[in-house]
Structure 1
Amino acid sequence: MSIMKKGTALLLTLVLVLGLAVPGLAADKAALQAAVDKAASYMVNTVKEPQVGSIGGEWAVLGLARSGYEVPDTYYQDYDATVEAYVEACKGVLHQKKYTEYSRVIVALTSIGKDPSNVAGYNLLTPLGDYDKTIWQGLNGPIWALIALDTGNYAMPQNTSARTQATRAMYVDEILSRQLADGGWSLTGTGGSPEPADPDITGMALQALAKYQDRADVKKATGEALACMSAKQDAKGGFSSWGTPNSESVVQILVALCELGISLDDSRFVKNGHTLLDNLLTYQQADGSFQHTADGSGSNQMATEQGFYGLIAAQRARDGKPSLYRMSDAISVGESTSTGPAKGAGLEGKNAAVKTVPITKPGTTFGDIIFSSEITAIEALASREIIAGMDDGSFKPDNTMTRAEFAAIVVRALGLTPKANGIFSDVPSAEWYAPYVGTANSYGIVGGTTAATFNPLGTITRQEAAVMIARAAKLCGMDTAMDSGAVRDTLAQFEDYVQSDDWARPSLAFCYSAGILSQQDLSIRPKETAKRGEVAQMLFNLLGEANLL
């Protein structure tokens, strides 16, 4: 769950939404339903294997679970199994300092009717009973602790190891104490500070305070914050953060109004006839995704997940249902009844040497992937030590990848044992990559550039990567065979398919048909060098399709 704060707050990861009032001036019922359906379809097809993470995880699950959109139970069952494995790998400690990690997972589990007090034997509610550790990361801590605890009306957990046992009142008081002079809140601002309020953080603070309006001080602070945000709303009905109009800021205020039971048609939040919902819909693209900004920046998964649950909040309010965070009507997902291989156990026909790679470094991320479309894939692989970042702590998703690096991550991804085979004269046994190249070659995943050479430091093209991934898929038990007609029909949708080499086309067609490469792409770009982020996404998709996540 992540709410993005352009700038410093980009590093925070969490967010949710709730309900809204019937739109009058806002988009009509049919338009809203169409927008929801497009966004839900996009989400199901994009986040096929939801992970534990701020993007491509909890927020996608939450939006879908609260949308009423028809999603197979197995989708949620698989997510639940992923959470169990993740929590077990962490030994119940999702993060030493960022307690919003617990809040985000609690919210998602509650939305699918699962019990966050018993996940792989660990109680994820307990950390939120530690007041000092919860507020350590700033205002986000108490905000999301309240939201998470209130989604299921959970009792405040008793944390016997806490220096200060938390209460709900303490978290409410902490939020109130940070209110700025203008009536709103910011991520780092202190009480009465003259710095301007930020719509994202103000919206989240209002969401957390929505259920405490019986307190006079909360009601007063809420009124001041609403007046502040009404004044900050622009002529198009939207909001800006760090000087830039964006969809996420709109979502957070929209959700706040829904939680407070305030109609989106409330005159305080209608500018020149434009409501928050009207403004949010201007960011949605034809495929259902959302842009972060309206300047043609393209879809962004973080913006899409927030935009999606913003629509759900509006829809639930329109239909008179409990809001996003009031989960008395949460769906109930039963235990899996599948008779096939267990989640993550691989396919029945896989090579016996292929093994599921466990999570060993949960929570691994990189500062330069926050707006990368491959963030979920990169984080999932990094948490399993399949792929690593640079020495400076970045990932460089747009950098190219060498043939040696590719061999290494494929071998790690399949859980194969690295072992040099001495086949190639340009792969000295003393080099770090020799065992990986040897194993990848021995299993038929990679070949040489000649009979005797591998060119380990050379880069790989997209079509070469597809060929190697297809060979890995076959090792995983997937049927990669396609007749010439199916290959032609699959690739004909791409105008540049004729630029691919004949030897690569069957593998390219397989990768597109299996969802390893996206058929939403407009072109193949077969001879362009493959980038680190692209390769991570392909491998992540392969592991998902091969039941190895």
Structure 2
Amino acid sequence: MKNKITILLTAIIILSSCMNVFASSNPKLDEAIAETASYLYETVQNPQIGAIGGEWAVIGLARSGYDVPDSYYQNYYSNVEAYVKNCGGKLHDKKYTEYSRVIVALTAIGKNPADVAGYNLLTAIGDYDNTIWQGLNGPVWALIALDSGGYEMPQNSDAKTQATRELYLNRILECQLPDGGWSLFGGTAAEESGNSVSDPDITGMALQALAKYQDRPEVKKATEEALACMSAMQNENGGYSHGGAENLESSVQMLTALCELGISADDARFVKNGNTLLDAVLSFRNSDGSFQHTSNDSGNSQMSTEQGFYAMVAAQRALEGKSSLYRMSDSPVSAEDGETDNAAGLPGKHADVSVKPLTKPGVTFADIAGHSNQLAIEALAAREIINGKSADAFDPDATMTRAEYAAIVVKALGLPMKEEAKFEDATKTDWFFPFVNTACSYGIINGISETEFNPNGTITREEAAVMTARAAKLCGMNTELETAAVRDVLAGFTDYVTASDWARSALAFCLREQILSEEEIEILPKQEIKRCEIAQMLYQMLGAANQL
């Protein structure tokens, strides 16, 4: 009997070890995270609003998946409520990163930052001038906070200048230094001596903020320049120095930036003498799980420990293929606050529609360089809505099947999968089975009969318009047009009479909303649609529906 028990326990241990290996390809990292999580849970038992012993510990623990009682996060939230109530909703007169940091932490634990003790903490970052006052970290963290939960830009009636995402993005881009990176006040009227040289900390943070916007050529260009700058500045042991001293925090921000950008820590640009940024971060760890600020320190630093921890978590999430540290559509949801991943979008959208996070920023294909639909293709590919035919080729002029469209539109809307079988030619062994059933369940696409879907049939331009219009309606767009309005829109095209009656309203809607281009003189409704055209249509629709 003892032998059987021993064999069983051994098997369980071996199986558990295998599961850990598959959960993350870096067991050393898993162990380090578990130890530091335990250390933080013990040392930050009553988290408060603050840069130390507060939000960074909460964010790291919440995003790590470490087994923390719900009461821990509820205690933090109660402390936040009390603090906010006591200060009348004003966290700081000048440092608006205080708001951003708290917003990110609340999002991480599934709480609504728009209603904390009756105060909307998002409102503050609708004030452009006050947000940028403290330097580049103001607009950087405003964007990170807004994008962590897909929040709309809040309206601030007291602001001298109402902030927009564009203003914050432009502020970051215009402050980029000649060497390619950023510093706290470099490129601004407040620039001081020393701020004309890039700072790895600030550059890393700026890259984190820009990660979601890699589908914009100017952002992508700035990102590549910054990465080249940081690669050149990296120390021979894989880390970074600031003010002449090698420190943990600089490596933390750059490692987190790579993870947000979807760039591997093993990327050749950031490996020096076989050492990665992750190696550099781990080199500051003490045996008890805490971290040192510099390699010369003999003790530990609470701030360094909290920052080192969330950088490790960012790396682990990247290895496991999860959403990044600051893309929190997968955060736990508070029952009283509702879904956080569905926060963005139009007011009338279906409750199941959610924003797809940026998971592969910077992805592109050799055969779309200079293509008129390049931006749309890259934007969808960066969110894993659409894939290439291979790692290097998209094949933009190829046609698209009904099954392929079903998969793309379901991914684009972030719809939950429906597994109930609907068609005889779409079975559980088919890769497209869940996508076809889901698209049909939501009324986006129909079968050609009650029992047949025709998954390999190609799609015409008018069919694509109808299905995209249905998807747009789920996103909250008004797709209804009066008969006269349909006629007025279509009358400008020489071949509109060849469009099927059932497709004309959808075609008019897509043309009116610029989902289909109005610049052409023909609609070509019966022509098979190309992959590049589908990408452009969905990109335009998602943009119009505030789903990007």
Is TM-score (shorter-chain normalized) higher than 0.5? Answer: yes
1:135 alignment partner in structure 2: 132
Change in Cα spacing, 1:97 to 1:326, as seen in structure 2 (3 Å) is same
* Structure 1 Cα separation of the partners of residues 211 and 298 of structure 2: 33
* Structure 1 Cα separation of the partners of residues 82 and 297 of structure 2: 39
Work out whether 1:290 is the aligned partner of 2:291.
yes
- 1:270-309 equivalences under 5 Å are 270-309=271-310
For residue 273 of structure 1, what is the amino acid of its counterpart? G
* Structure 1 Cα separation of the partners of residues 215 and 64 of structure 2: 29
Classify the secondary structure of the residue corresponding to 1:98: coil
* Structure 2 Cα separation of the partners of residues 191 and 49 of structure 1: 39
* Structure 2 Cα separation of the partners of residues 248 and 233 of structure 1: 13
Decide whether the 8 Å contact of 1:129 with 1:165 is kept in 2.
Answer: yes
* Structure 1 Cα separation of the partners of residues 211 and 279 of structure 2: 23
Once the two structures are TM-superposed, the CA of residue 28 in structure 1 deviates from its matched residue by 5.5
1:420 alignment partner in structure 2: none
Q: Deviations over 1:442-481 (max 9, x none)?
A: xxxxxxxxxxxxxxxxxxxxxxxxxxxxxxxxxxxxxxxx
* Structure 2 Cα separation of the partners of residues 72 and 48 of structure 1: 11
1:150 alignment partner in structure 2: 147
Decide whether the 8 Å contact of 1:181 with 1:191 is kept in 2.
Answer: no
1:39 alignment partner in structure 2: 36
1:172 alignment partner in structure 2: 169
Q: Deviations over 1:285-330 (max 9, x none)?
A: 1110000011133210010000000000000011110000000110
Match of 1:94 among 91, 101, 104: 91
2:197 alignment partner in structure 1: 196
* Structure 2 Cα separation of the partners of residues 30 and 292 of structure 1: 24
Classify the secondary structure of the residue corresponding to 1:186: coil
2:246 alignment partner in structure 1: 245
For residue 137 of structure 1, what is the amino acid of its counterpart? Q
1:316 alignment partner in structure 2: 317
Decide whether the 8 Å contact of 1:258 with 1:314 is kept in 2.
Answer: yes
Work out whether 1:120 is the aligned partner of 2:121.
no
Work out whether 1:67 is the aligned partner of 2:60.
no
Contiguous gaps of at least 5 residues in structure 2: 1-20, 338-548
2:216 alignment partner in structure 1: 215
* Structure 1 Cα separation of the partners of residues 64 and 265 of structure 2: 19
Q: Deviations over 1:340-359 (max 9, x none)?
A: xxxxxxxxxxxxxxxxxxxx
Q: Percent identity?
A: 66
For residue 259 of structure 1, what is the amino acid of its counterpart? E
Higher RCO, Cα 8 Å, sep 6+:
1
- 1:312-461 equivalences under 5 Å are 312-333=313-334
* Structure 1 Cα separation of the partners of residues 49 and 297 of structure 2: 30
Q: Deviations over 1:336-383 (max 9, x none)?
A: 9xxxxxxxxxxxxxxxxxxxxxxxxxxxxxxxxxxxxxxxxxxxxxxx
* Structure 1 Cα separation of the partners of residues 156 and 297 of structure 2: 48
Once the two structures are TM-superposed, the CA of residue 226 in structure 1 deviates from its matched residue by 0.2
Classify the secondary structure of the residue corresponding to 1:69: coil
Classify the secondary structure of the residue corresponding to 1:328: coil
Once the two structures are TM-superposed, the CA of residue 335 in structure 1 deviates from its matched residue by 7.3
Q: Deviations over 1:256-307 (max 9, x none)?
A: 0011110111000000110000111111111100000111332100100000
* Structure 1 Cα separation of the partners of residues 188 and 229 of structure 2: 15
* Structure 1 Cα separation of the partners of residues 226 and 31 of structure 2: 32
1:79 alignment partner in structure 2: 76
Contiguous gaps of at least 5 residues in structure 1: 1-23, 337-549
For residue 32 of structure 1, what is the amino acid of its counterpart? L
For residue 139 of structure 2, what is the amino acid of its counterpart? P
Once the two structures are TM-superposed, the CA of residue 138 in structure 1 deviates from its matched residue by 1.1
For residue 204 of structure 2, what is the amino acid of its counterpart? G
Decide whether the 8 Å contact of 1:77 with 1:334 is kept in 2.
Answer: no
* Structure 1 Cα separation of the partners of residues 188 and 158 of structure 2: 29
Decide whether the 8 Å contact of 2:201 with 2:249 is kept in 1.
Answer: yes
Q: Deviations over 1:185-216 (max 9, x none)?
A: 01121169882200000000000111111111
Decide whether the 8 Å contact of 2:47 with 2:76 is kept in 1.
Answer: yes
* Structure 1 Cα separation of the partners of residues 329 and 219 of structure 2: 24
* Structure 1 Cα separation of the partners of residues 100 and 169 of structure 2: 16
Decide whether the 8 Å contact of 2:63 with 2:108 is kept in 1.
Answer: yes
* Structure 2 Cα separation of the partners of residues 212 and 153 of structure 1: 13
Decide whether the 8 Å contact of 1:236 with 1:272 is kept in 2.
Answer: yes
Classify the secondary structure of the residue corresponding to 2:329: helix
Using the size of structure 1 for normalisation, the TM-score is: 0.55
- 1:50-65 equivalences under 5 Å are 50-65=47-62
Note the aligned Cα RMSD (angstroms): 1.8
Decide whether the 8 Å contact of 2:25 with 2:319 is kept in 1.
Answer: no
2:225 alignment partner in structure 1: 224
* Structure 2 Cα separation of the partners of residues 195 and 142 of structure 1: 19
* Structure 1 Cα separation of the partners of residues 182 and 298 of structure 2: 28
Decide whether the 8 Å contact of 1:143 with 1:171 is kept in 2.
Answer: yes
For residue 149 of structure 2, what is the amino acid of its counterpart? G
2:393 alignment partner in structure 1: none
For residue 228 of structure 1, what is the amino acid of its counterpart? C
Classify the secondary structure of the residue corresponding to 1:240: strand
Decide whether the 8 Å contact of 1:179 with 1:191 is kept in 2.
Answer: no
Q: Deviations over 1:43-83 (max 9, x none)?
A: 00000000100100000000000000000000000000000
Change in Cα spacing, 1:155 to 1:229, as seen in structure 2 (3 Å) is same
Once the two structures are TM-superposed, the CA of residue 334 in structure 1 deviates from its matched residue by 5.6
Decide whether the 8 Å contact of 2:270 with 2:277 is kept in 1.
Answer: yes
2:104 alignment partner in structure 1: 107
Q: Deviations over 1:11-55 (max 9, x none)?
A: xxxxxxxxxxxxx9xx95210100000110000000000010010
- The runs of at least 4 consecutive aligned structure 1 residues that moved more than 4 Å come to 191-194, 333-336
